[in-house]
Structure 1
Amino acid sequence: MTQAAITSPKESPGGKLGLQAILSRDFTASIVVFLVAMPLCMGIAVASGVPAERGLVTGIIGGIIVGALAGSPLQVSGPAAGLAVIVFEIVSKHGLSMLGPLLLAAGLIQLVAGALRLGQWFRAISPAVVHGMLAGIGVLIVAGQFHVLFADKPKAHGLENLAAIPAALGGVSFTSLGAVEAALVVGLVTIGSILAWEKFRPARLKLVPGALLGVLAGTLVALGFGLDVQKIAVPESIAAAIAVPGAADLARMADPMLLLTALAVAFIASAETLLSAAAVDRMHDGPRTKYNKELFAQGVGNMLCGAVGALPMTGVIVRSSANVQAGAVSRLSTMLHGAWILAFVALLPWLLRQVPSAALAGVLVVTGWKLVSLDHVRHLFARYGLLPAVIWAATFVAVVATDLLTGVLIGMALTLLELIPNLRKMRLRVAQHALSETESEIRLEGAATFVQLPKIAKVLDAAPNGGLVRLDTRALTCLDHTCAEALGDWLKGKARAGVKVELPSPCAFGDRLRAAVAH
């Protein structure tokens, strides 16, 4: 037998901790997440073409309400960079007043999908599509916020933003410090501070977020040198940020195109949320995500965001990873971070009004650039061949050249090509049975393709969290890259939990599984 992974057991979050220790760790983690979330909530709102305070309202709802209902206790919900592009398009085409009705419809779709237990199906989306989509979004965010760094507004389309970059660079004067140069200085100071902090920060200060320090540095430079830069607009009261949809705007939702847009928002938000939840599960050994419950909670949250005219929300990996790394052990941390945002906005709105728009643009340029990662496509090509890499590239190009929904649909259509060699043998049998009190076996027989992933995931999630688990894949005739990545994630999760998993030798697709574990 070949061992896939062996590790020693770790303490599960909250498992052996007293109430005082749980409260202490969650309190500390909530402060860290709050500091990470504040600049991102405002920056994503600005990138979406809406007032900054609406992003903060989404952060409050995502923390307090969705945090209490979530199926992934340690995942943090709030405005996401992945939806900034589609929200910008909505506001540009239909006006800011239609954002609320669209979110009401999108949230209702998510709520119904959760009630119908469709959450597992989002896990069947190809990783190549997801990462291609995120890379495309990253390019669009960088291209759009690039113009804010030059005291300008983003164009209506991503290609326009890219095409206008040379003209923006040519408009910089090196002999005077006007509005363009001042904004650029603030943005570059913000970006430089973030990158320098991430590279050189002391280990004991690793939880201090670079985004916060970048915004602080850019703001201090603008104030210290009296630079003439645009500041973000924040109302005196958080209640002024609430915009309840009117009857006329709600009536416009009868338009099939608007309903299709709401469906696109629901689909993309759900996919990003549930894939983020799966990533969060890989970071800790506590309770696993209940996908349908998480989808239902996101639906409630987005309906509430629609009711007050805020930004759409998803589960967000940057804030969630900060939550786990800061030591959170329960959903209390997420809920408290929402309360801190509410308190800050209610008590210190004057402080937010000192933040230059260019500083937030700098944060988003760094955030977008990190989304444009080639590591994943290199991994796909090296481990699974040309087709997954082509799917990634096609999704990426289509997102940048057309729109988010078109890009995702093109990527998903291309994943169907992986089914062609197995059309006559699509059946898959998944069985689990106990061999003894301490040993169990999971057997896969047939074609393991992405359309069968919900069935596979259901059995894997029910596997014991102790003893020895044998994963028998000798009867597999096909293992596509989506299932291979899912099995690899499961193997890594079991290893972190101290569960010994063995693969029989010889093992069908054993090299592919071990490669997925190593990635």
Structure 2
Amino acid sequence: MFSLLKDRTVLRRDILASLVVFLVALPLCVGVAVASGVPAELGLITGIVGGLVVGCLPGSSLQVSGPAAGLTVLVYEAVKEFGLGTLGAIVLVSGVLQLALGAFGFGRWFRAISIAVVQGMLAGIGLVLVLGQVYAMADTAQPSGGLGKVGGLLELLVGIVTDTTALTAFLIGAGTIAVLVLWPRLPARFRVLPGPLAAVGLATGTVFLLDLPVAKVEVQGLLESISPPGLGAFGELGTIAAVGTVLAFTLIASAESLFSAAAVDRMHDGPRTDYNKELMAQGVGNTLCGALGALPMTAVIVRSAANVQAGARTSLSRVLHGLWLLLFAALLPAAIGVIPLAALAGVLVHAGCKLIPVRDLAPLWRDHRGEAVILVVTALAILVTNLFEGVVLGLLLAVVKTAWEISHLNVDVRELTGGRLVVTITGNATFLRLPRTMEQLEELPKDRPIELDLSGLRHVDHACRVALENWALRHNDGGTEPVRMNPPVAESGRSTTAS
């Protein structure tokens, strides 16, 4: 009897949690799709697949998947460059790659990505998202490229001030943001609905009651929006740009999903995430989304946190949230067509701002200055170039920073009786520290006997071995006393020593 009562309690909590997640996911699915330049229904399809398909697969029991604001910029650029028909092929191939990565056990390696690069990636996405959706809040077409968006802000401001229609739409978007900011501060009895749904609902009601002339979401119908990619779409993936886009989709969606899983695991006491299985589950979802011509999916921390906080205990809650999305899209498609675009843009501006770690930047600069530099450079590189190139630059900076930090090299000079000098070099001898080390060695007097003590070196790369040997030869040729190396210098990992 107790077991049955416990099962009923868990079932009730999962059903209630699924309704909360559905209400959070609905405006975000539509908003991400519209901001990505695709029909609104494609965002709902991705949310449905994330619930009904990925929700049934092993990996993370409480994590919720769907279209994410973090991929909006990349999807928008992909649609603009390759077309909507090729988007499905890109997403499908990315899903297959995720399946392969998970099957070969690469899921755990995504945890090794520098957190500064991830934060910089999210900050860059947030900057581009905010700058783009500010134009959408005024029902104005956004310029291409991050610098173009920044350069057009003054013209946008003038347009808002001088054009009544643009001002009306912008005020609707600004009002939506204000509701989202103030909603968490209201007493709990007023926060029956999730903030995004309440903000979009209030904006939609205002536009309807006042009959305001603002643009609304265009509705095509769920089945009409499904467009599987043809063979020609896969043929367009042979270019370098397309391959880079596929890799960007794969790496960013995978990293965001697995970082989200780590965050969700800290929120509950249930089973921990199996990272390889979760990566394969995301791969299955993206493969199916690609086959349907829908948006790519990731695990989304906002929906996942809402699921945990609403009291979910099993994966049933995320499966049911997909069912509610399907029923809504099938039975109430006209409800989507009354939503003002400016309100959805306001939701995404708010989401974009939350991706930018403004409060964390000052403490990070104070405690880990190098990490702060990587974060800022990655974000600005994404804004100036594109998402893939910005992330690659961030990863390269992280590798260089790590190499610099571990290549500590200390040169200590001691003078013994008789004028003999003992030069002790300790640490890791890499090319990064070579210029300063050679300057110190070349400053040594040439008319004194020198013993070079290398016993404290833990690592010597090829560049340092050659440089030390050449310095010793030059010193012996030009000086009166030879240099004696103790022991003879050898590259790390080689069994032979230099004479």
Output the CA distance in 1 between the equivalents of 2:333 and 2:80.
Answer: 27
Amino acid at match of 1:301: G
User: How many percent of aligned residue pairs carry the same amino acid?
Assistant: 48
| Residues 1:330 and 1:379: Cα distance change in structure 2 (over 3 Å) | farther
Task: State which of 278, 284, 288 in structure 2 corresponds to 1:304.
Answer: 288
Matched, 1:402 2:375: no
Aligned to 1:161: 149
Matched, 1:26 2:10: no
Aligned to 2:113: 125
Task: State which of 63, 71, 79 in structure 2 corresponds to 1:83.
Answer: 71
Offset at residue 227 of structure 1 (A): 0.7
* Cα offsets for 1:448-480 (capped at 9, x unmatched): xxxxxxxxxxxxxxxxxxxxxxxxxxxxx9xxx
Offset at residue 296 of structure 1 (A): 0.2
Matched, 1:188 2:171: no
Aligned to 1:511: none
Retained in 2: the 8 A contact 1:64–1:336?
yes
Aligned to 1:322: 306
Output the CA distance in 2 between the equivalents of 1:191 and 1:361.
Answer: 9
Task: State which of 34, 38, 42 in structure 1 corresponds to 2:30.
Answer: 42
Secondary structure (helix, strand or coil) at the match of 2:45 reads helix
Larger Rg: 2
**How many matched pairs?**
408
Retained in 2: the 8 A contact 1:128–1:377?
no
Retained in 2: the 8 A contact 1:132–1:393?
yes
Output the CA distance in 2 between the equivalents of 1:280 and 1:203.
Answer: 23
Aligned to 2:395: 412
Aligned to 1:387: 370
Offset at residue 158 of structure 1 (A): 1.8
Offset at residue 64 of structure 1 (A): 0.9
Output the CA distance in 2 between the equivalents of 1:259 and 1:390.
Answer: 29
Output the CA distance in 1 between the equivalents of 2:74 and 2:294.
Answer: 14
Amino acid at match of 2:25: A
Output the CA distance in 2 between the equivalents of 1:17 and 1:424.
Answer: 63
Output the CA distance in 2 between the equivalents of 1:423 and 1:70.
Answer: 42
* Cα offsets for 1:193-232 (capped at 9, x unmatched): 2222122x21245563111111011111111111111110
Output the CA distance in 2 between the equivalents of 1:156 and 1:287.
Answer: 44
Output the CA distance in 2 between the equivalents of 1:381 and 1:206.
Answer: 37
Amino acid at match of 2:71: L
Matched, 1:360 2:328: no
Output the CA distance in 2 between the equivalents of 1:325 and 1:42.
Answer: 23
Aligned to 1:223: 208
Output the CA distance in 1 between the equivalents of 2:107 and 2:24.
Answer: 28
Retained in 1: the 8 A contact 2:168–2:214?
yes
Output the CA distance in 1 between the equivalents of 2:22 and 2:16.
Answer: 10
Offset at residue 370 of structure 1 (A): 1.1
Over the residues paired in the alignment, what is the CA RMSD in angstroms? Answer: 2.0
Retained in 2: the 8 A contact 1:207–1:322?
no
Retained in 2: the 8 A contact 1:264–1:405?
yes
Offset at residue 307 of structure 1 (A): 0.4
Offset at residue 157 of structure 1 (A): 1.3
Aligned to 1:480: none
Retained in 2: the 8 A contact 1:92–1:156?
no
Retained in 1: the 8 A contact 2:244–2:388?
no
- 1:203-214 equivalent positions in 2, closer than 5 A: 203-206=188-191, 208-214=193-199
Q: More displaced, 188-197 or 119-128? A: 188-197
Offset at residue 409 of structure 1 (A): 1.0
Output the CA distance in 2 between the equivalents of 1:262 and 1:17.
Answer: 48
Aligned to 2:469: none
Retained in 1: the 8 A contact 2:183–2:191?
no
* Cα offsets for 1:175-203 (capped at 9, x unmatched): x7x3212212221221222222122x212
Output the CA distance in 1 between the equivalents of 2:160 and 2:92.
Answer: 43
Aligned to 2:225: 241
Output the CA distance in 1 between the equivalents of 2:167 and 2:216.
Answer: 15
Secondary structure (helix, strand or coil) at the match of 1:18 reads helix
Offset at residue 17 of structure 1 (A): 8.1
Task: State which of 242, 258, 263 in structure 2 corresponds to 1:279.
Answer: 263
Retained in 2: the 8 A contact 1:131–1:376?
no
TM-score by length of 2: 0.79
- 1:47-66 equivalent positions in 2, closer than 5 A: 47-66=35-54
Offset at residue 173 of structure 1 (A): 3.9
Amino acid at match of 2:139: A
Amino acid at match of 1:95: G
Output the CA distance in 2 between the equivalents of 1:146 and 1:173.
Answer: 14
Output the CA distance in 2 between the equivalents of 1:69 and 1:205.
Answer: 36
Output the CA distance in 1 between the equivalents of 2:191 and 2:403.
Answer: 45
Aligned to 2:482: none
Retained in 2: the 8 A contact 1:113–1:296?
yes
Output the CA distance in 2 between the equivalents of 1:244 and 1:78.
Answer: 19
Aligned to 2:235: 251
Output the CA distance in 1 between the equivalents of 2:190 and 2:115.
Answer: 33
Aligned to 1:104: 92
Secondary structure (helix, strand or coil) at the match of 2:65 reads strand
Offset at residue 421 of structure 1 (A): 3.8
Task: State which of 320, 345, 350 in structure 1 corresponds to 2:334.
Answer: 350
Retained in 2: the 8 A contact 1:230–1:357?
yes
Aligned to 1:487: none
Output the CA distance in 2 between the equivalents of 1:100 and 1:358.
Answer: 27
Aligned to 2:253: 269
Aligned to 2:139: 151
Offset at residue 22 of structure 1 (A): 1.1
Amino acid at match of 2:277: K
Amino acid at match of 2:395: M
* Cα offsets for 1:138-181 (capped at 9, x unmatched): 1111100100111112222122112111111111247x7x3212
Matched, 1:373 2:335: no
* Cα offsets for 1:334-391 (capped at 9, x unmatched): 11101100000100011111101111011111111111122333343343x2111111
Secondary structure (helix, strand or coil) at the match of 2:299 reads strand
Structure 1 residue runs of 5 or longer lacking an equivalent are: 1-14, 426-446, 448-476, 478-519
Task: State which of 98, 102, 113 in structure 2 corresponds to 1:114.
Answer: 102
Output the CA distance in 1 between the equivalents of 2:362 and 2:318.
Answer: 34
